[in-house]
Amino acid sequence: MPFPPLVDPAPVLGTAERLRYARHTRLPEIGEVGQRRLTAARVLVVGAGGLGSPSLTYLAAAGVGTIGIVDDDVVEVSNLHRQPVHSEADLGRDKAASAADRVRAINPHVSVRVHRERFSAASAEQLVGAYDLVVDGADNFATRYLVTDACALAGIPHVWASINTFAGQLSVWWAGRGPCYRCVFPAPPPPGSVASCAEAGVIGVLPGVMGTLQAAEAIKLITGVGEPAVGRIVLHDALAGTWEAVPVRARPDCDLCGESPSISRPVEEGLTREVPVIVATDLAAAIADGSEDVIVLDVREAEEFSEGRILPSVHVPLGELLAGTARDQIARWSAASGGVVVYCRGGTRSAQAVGYLLEQGVETARSLDGGIIAWNAQVAGDPGPP
């Protein structure tokens, strides 16, 4: 399905730009207006590695006006067989800075923003909020889910690709217009079940192929040309030399983009492990009994209080908890005879919080299964706690 152009065109092209992009503007589908859309576009590339190398290179060459690069890694010699945005002379340098130099060398009309940081739960929304679309060149599931969450919450598309040994996959995830990544992959595979490129190896040209395709999808989205890979996963088998496309659908029960989503902030998957849970009716009974001191910790944002609260409870939003702002209270919580029960909207953030509290030595921490949604459904009608 075609989509309208994602970006409004910049006012005019200068003479130097007209010359540079002449082969683009000659294409009737792109034309000068399409090129002006590219000039106005802001694209964030997450990861200046194997996939980021070609996508950064071609987006810069194509004249995408603002390119952000997020990476906290440094260039190592084992990167060079598949990351030609860096060269021998860049060994030991920050990848983001090294890639930015290459982008500037390719096209001085591009404004480059260097984000020399890890794409984290704390920074994801702010980073993504400054861009029209994201190209995900991450090599790990934690970042991939953060990109997914931040893009879906911002309502912007993200061009994803993943590579392993000789096989590549690509799709454009766009909550509201098609499936999001979580519709198809609701949760990451168990740690250790999927070998990384570092463990399994990867043929060096494969990220080149898939990352170039990511740049093509980004250009299509920006200019509204063709049919972006929304609602399908494109599979490439480099050994067989074949391509196929598998249709995928949005799920109404998706935690992120479904009818009653439970994710309202980017979730750092991978930090979340199996955590002890308590069901809503058991928590209600424990509070009503009152013989033990149960600490109820609400890790939602204040603007979510309209969905109801469990009272009494302590309010520390997840981001603040993980940032260590509640360190002083944690010792007191550990001493509570009835333990600590953490809740959020649907149980995902609370599980993450419980993982953190367990690491901090709060052995009684449990997550309210299903969050305030389950509480409202199962305890609603009860007079409940005051």
- Minimum distance of Zn ion from residue 157's CB (angstroms): 13
DSSP-derived 3-state class of residue 341 = strand
Planar angle of CA 46, 48, 53, nearest 5 degrees: 115
Among 248, 254, 299, 354, binds Zn ion (CB under 5 A): 254
d(CA 22, CA 32): 9
d(CA 161, CA 13): 32
Tokens of 199: 């463990």
Q: Does the protein bind Zn ion through residue 172 (CB under 5 A)?
A: no
The active-site residue, picked from 180, 183, 254, 344, is 344
Contact 222, 7 (CB under 8 A): yes
Q: Does the protein bind Zn ion through residue 158 (CB under 5 A)?
A: no
How many Cβ atoms from other residues are within 10 Å of residue 44's Cβ?
Answer: 27
Q: Does the protein bind Zn ion through residue 183 (CB under 5 A)?
A: yes
d(CA 167, CA 194): 14
d(CA 311, CA 257): 29
Among 127, 172, 234, 257, binds Zn ion (CB under 5 A): 257
Closest CA to 214 of 175, 249, 176, 169: 169
- Minimum distance of Zn ion from residue 250's CB (angstroms): 6
The whole-angstrom distance between residue 206's C-alpha and the CA centroid of its chain comes to 22
Q: Which is nearer to Zn ion, 1 or 198 (CB)?
A: 1
Q: Which is nearer to Zn ion, 155 or 324 (CB)?
A: 155
Among 256, 297, 365, 374, binds Zn ion (CB under 5 A): 256
Q: Which is nearer to Zn ion, 17 or 149 (CB)?
A: 149
* Inter-helix orientation angle 205-223/52-62, to 10°: 40
Segment interacting with Zn ion (CB under 5 A) among 34-42, 183-191, 233-241, 270-278? 183-191
- Minimum distance of Zn ion from residue 86's CB (angstroms): 34
Q: Does the protein bind Zn ion through residue 95 (CB under 5 A)?
A: no
d(CA 131, CA 156): 9
Is 344 annotated as catalytic?
A: yes
Residues in contact with Zn ion, shown as a per-residue x/- string from 291 to 330 under the rule CB under 5 A: ----------------------------------------
DSSP 204: T
- Minimum distance of Zn ion from residue 346's CB (angstroms): 13
The active-site residue, picked from 180, 183, 197, 254, is 197
In the chain, what's the furthest Cα-to-Cα distance? 79
Among 182, 232, 300, 349, binds Zn ion (CB under 5 A): 182
- Minimum distance of Zn ion from residue 173's CB (angstroms): 8
Q: Does the protein bind Zn ion through residue 180 (CB under 5 A)?
A: yes
Name the residue with the smallest CB distance to Zn ion: 254
Q: Which is nearer to Zn ion, 59 or 257 (CB)?
A: 257
Residues whose CB is less than 8 angstroms from the CB of residue 348 and which lie 6 or more positions away in sequence, other chains included: 255, 262, 263, 267, 272, 371
Supply the residues annotated as catalytic.
197, 344
Can you give the binding site for Zn ion, defined by CB under 5 A? Answer: 180, 182-183, 254, 256-257
